[in-house]
Structure 1
Amino acid sequence: MEILTSMAIIVVTTIFIILSFALYLTIRIFTGKSRNDKRYTPVHATIFDLFFNSDKLHDYETEIARTKPTFRFLSPGQSEILTADPRNVEHILKTRFDNYSKGPVGRENLADLLGHGIFAVDGKKWKQQRKLVSFEFSTRVLRNFSCSVFRRSASKLVSFVAEFALSGNAFDAQDMLMRCTLDSIFKVGFGVELRCLDGFSKEGEEFMKAFDEGNVATSSRFTDPLWKLKCFLNIGSESRLQKSVATIDKFVYSLITTKRKELAKEQNTAVREDILSKFLLESEKDPENMNDKYLRDIILNFMVAGKDTTAASLSCINEEALDQMQYLHAALSETVRLYPPVPKDMRCAENDDILPDGHRVSKGDNIYYIAYAMGRMTYIWGQDAEEFKPERWLKDGVFQTESPFKFISFHAGPRICPGKDFAYRQMKIVAMALLHFFRFKMADEKSNVCYKRMLTLHVEGELHLCAIPRTST
């Protein structure tokens, strides 16, 4: 009886909070001084609209952006501004970089999963991680090491796909590519043989599942106004997040401990090629601040950058040959234009500001640049914006770069992805390897492929493909 009474109190309290919240926002819409003030971005609705459209959020925002390149949703305290205007994006990410931070909302929403990693921090911690990661990505040692890793991983991938091709059975392409990528990232980044593609690592399987579940739950915080209540009651998505983080932490802390022991045994006699080893060596200079929790956060952020934004690769050719693959580079750019790995990202205004389109931003406002929508805007890419057209990137057969504030898939400004060229190299090689041996088609050509709501863009469910071996002539 007491349990039922407690549950009833929770339900009634939740309903009361929702209704009060809705009433407050409704009043704010119709009484707010800036509602009809043309100096401010036009109000579309409240953040409840984001919650109710969360399953199709990116398409919902895209439709709004067709007629309102910059718009906002009202929420308690501050506005949620969204923009698809490249001028505004450049202003936020470059011109006034100093005025736009991750902000308290971004940091709080990401804290449980990403902690103080590079995607969730500003200032000194961001500069420290950025400096070390940028240096590592620029070294010949890492490029050479990654090539050998990618060669082994993608050779294994081709072998697995060949088995399905010969049997005529369909396979989940997204799952297989993710496993291959995860194996490669762990070897290059952390010096660990995870063997997810083989299916031999129970710990790796559990980590991969927990990581994706944590990604989904963290993403929902940006549209769920009740996530803090769920966290307090330990229910729903917040309960799943805490369980996922516990699994992730167990795996990652074990990895750090093992790696420390390996480095201690090596006693500076071996070449430390993986990125984690470099961070562990760096932590010896400042053990108080670069503790295991900080290293854990760095690892998780590296995972977000690597696992979900590229595929593993095969490198039996040199970089010069890769650079000559102009059409392949264009096709991959067209893919990430329409399906950006990070479909939207957020900044917070540290002070009042005026955007290039003339709209005002108040201190504390959160402003999102929506890459998914930007890739589909005719006022940015022309009337054929929603067509898959690699030729738009080519002139006389040579790839032409676009402004990073127009093609925002790899971010822009001081925080542009340091692994952009690294990612292109991986994507080129895995595409080359698979397409050299196979043709692909949907297992069910009538199926409708949808995305899953996460921090990074994933296919909802499974992506079943059939591989057809290419015959030599």
Structure 2
Amino acid sequence: MWSYAQHASNQHSVVLTGTALVVALLGWKVLVHALRTPEQKAADESFRRIHRPASTLPLVGNTLDAMFFQTGRFVDWMADQSALADGKPWLMSIIGLPPTFVISSPESYEDLFKTQLHIFERGATMSYIFKDFLGEGIIAVDGHKWKQQRKTASHLFTNRMMRDVMSKEVRDKCIKLRDLLDHCAQQGKTVSMKSLISKFTSDVFTKIGFGEELHGLDASKLDLEQEHPFFQAIDDMSRLLQLRCQQPMFLWRLKRWLNLGEEREGKKNMKIIKAIVNDVMAQSLARKSASLEHDTAAQGITEDGNYVLMEPKTETKDLLSFFLESGLTDAQQLQDMAVNFLYLLVRVVVVRGHDEPLP
């Protein structure tokens, strides 16, 4: 049995050990502080002057704001903090994620996306958050892969392409939208203009991107009461990615591993998205293959009975054509490219009215 003296001795040893550890830690911090260079001291001083929300707590930072207190008005909350910071960058911190600098001024955006684009990469953490859904697409990659995809996709948005292709598709879809509204008016049906405009936009951009469309404005396929499953899946997936950015990484990874909650729904939505994207790509590739075979075999007969090879029909290039010409032939990479393109389309143009930032 332990005597009182032994107990007191052990207790004394524990206290001494704990005190020694605290002293060593403090000594280390003092030493590091003393050995800092003038540049490091200036950087630390600038870092301390950066605006932080008043609700920032020790250790947990803004985790409670992001996950509980402000989750229903997260964009409004960030806008409030940007106003309090007078438009200057401010710091948001969430457990398990790198510190996040929030910018809101045009000058900051220009510096980030133009002047110093080579410095501000997406980073490993954000790439990991997006990768299992968006793969090796432009949203989830950095460096050479990002530059290559951006350069290839930029061919789609030249002045000539916008004039010759987009204007034609917009006119065609405007006529279909007009006819559809006329049909609904004659039958006295109530329609959601937001839903119709979403379908109008998706048909235009899938036609431009892949030479195909989702037929959202076809009266025979139109369900006036429900959103297109593709839009709904994209919307739900976007919410999931935003939630991942608002909580500790270990938490959503645990839920993904256990297949719980929004992570389980995210897997279902991704299956819907990839199935529709694969269908659109398959139709596009089949049409291109048939067109190529037709042009190769196309022959005509002159008046004197001689055969002559006819001029092949020139087809307007789409995004898929540009990526194939760039040497991208891997099926998975093409699928990732298509998912990223349509995700950006729907997020930027169709559902940007939701109370959530673009991830």
Verify same fold: TM over 0.5: yes
Displacement of 1:141 after TM fit? 4.8
Residue in structure 2 matched with residue 395 of structure 1 by the alignment: none
Secondary structure class of the residue paired with 2:228: helix
Evaluate the alpha carbon distance shift between residue 47 and residue 246 of structure 1 in structure 2; reply closer, same or farther with a 3 A threshold.
Answer: same
Equivalent of 1:39, from 35, 47, 50?
A: 47
Aligned to 1:222: 245
User: Separation in 1 of the partners of 2:161 and 2:119?
Assistant: 37
What aligned pairs does 1:96-245 form with structure 2 within 5 A after superposition? Answer: 96-138=116-158, 140-141=160-161, 143-163=163-183, 170-198=190-218, 200-201=220-221, 205-225=228-248, 226-245=251-270
Distance of aligned partners of 1:201 and 1:232 in 2 relative to their CA distance in 1, 3 Å threshold: farther
SS of residue matched to 1:221 = helix
Once superposed, what is the RMSD of the aligned Cα atoms? 3.2
Match of 1:451 in 2: 354
CA distance in 1, matches of 2:354, 2:75: 9
Deviations 1:46-88 (A, max 9, x none): 2321122122111111111222233222233631221224443
Equivalence for 1:54: 71
Contact 1:72–1:79 (8 Å) recurs in 2: yes
Match in the other structure for 1:257: 282
TM-aligned CA distance change 1:124 to 1:90, over 3 Å:
same
The residue that corresponds to 1:65 in the other structure is 82
Please tell me the residue identity of whatever aligns with 1:151.
Answer: R
Given that residues 230 and 238 in structure 1 are in contact (C-alpha distance below 8 angstroms), is that contact kept between their aligned partners in structure 2?
Answer: yes
Deviates most, 271-280 or 161-170: 161-170
Cα deviation digits, residues 179-214 of structure 1 (max 9, x gap): 111111111111113211226559x93333222222
Residue 454 (structure 1) shift: 6.1
Match of 1:278 among 321, 332, 337: 321
Closer, same or farther: CA 206–271 of 1 in aligned 2, 3 Å: farther
Deviations 1:446-470 (A, max 9, x none): xxxx8343638xxxxxxxxxxxxxx
Pair 281,94 (structure 1): closer, same or farther in 2 beyond 3 Å: closer
Q: Distance in 2 between matches of 1:214 and 1:82?
A: 23
Unaligned runs of 5+ residues in structure 2 are 1-28, 34-40, 57-61, 296-311
Percent identical: 24
Aligned equivalent of 1:78:
98
Residue 173 (structure 1) shift: 1.8
Aligned to 2:341: 302
Is residue 209–residue 319 contact of structure 2 (8 Å, CA) maintained in 1? yes
Distance 1:217 1:200 in 2: 32
For the 8 Å contact 1:231–1:238, the answer to whether it is kept is: yes
Number of aligned residues: 284
Summarize the Cα distance change of 1:164–1:262 in structure 2 as closer, same or farther, 3 Å threshold.
closer
Contact preservation (8 Å) 1:279, 1:295: no
**Superposed displacement of residue 239, structure 1:** 0.8
Structure 1: runs of 5+ lacking an equivalent: 1-30, 312-339, 342-449, 457-473
If asked which structure has higher relative contact order (CA below 8 Å, sep 6+), I would say 1
C-alpha separation between the residues in 1 aligned to 2:93 and 2:324?
Answer: 46
Structure having the higher Rg? 2
Whether the aligned pair in 1 keeps the contact of 2:234 and 2:343 (CA below 8 Å) is: no
Please give the per-residue CA displacement for 1:123-175, whole angstroms capped at 9, x wherever unaligned. Answer: 22222222222223215255322222211211122233345566776532211
Q: Which string of whole-angstrom CA distances, capped at 9 and with x for unpartnered residues, describes residues 374-396 of structure 1?
A: xxxxxxxxxxxxxxxxxxxxxxx
What is the alpha-carbon distance in structure 1 between the residues aligned to residue 150 and residue 266 of structure 2? 27
Q: By percentage of residues, which structure has more strand?
A: 1
| Conservation of the 8 A alpha-carbon contact between 1:55 and 1:453 | no
Match of 2:315, as an amino acid?
R
CA–CA distance in 2 between the matches of 1:196 and 1:106? 33
**Is 1:266 matched with 2:291?**
yes
Q: Distance in 2 between matches of 1:280 and 1:78?
A: 34
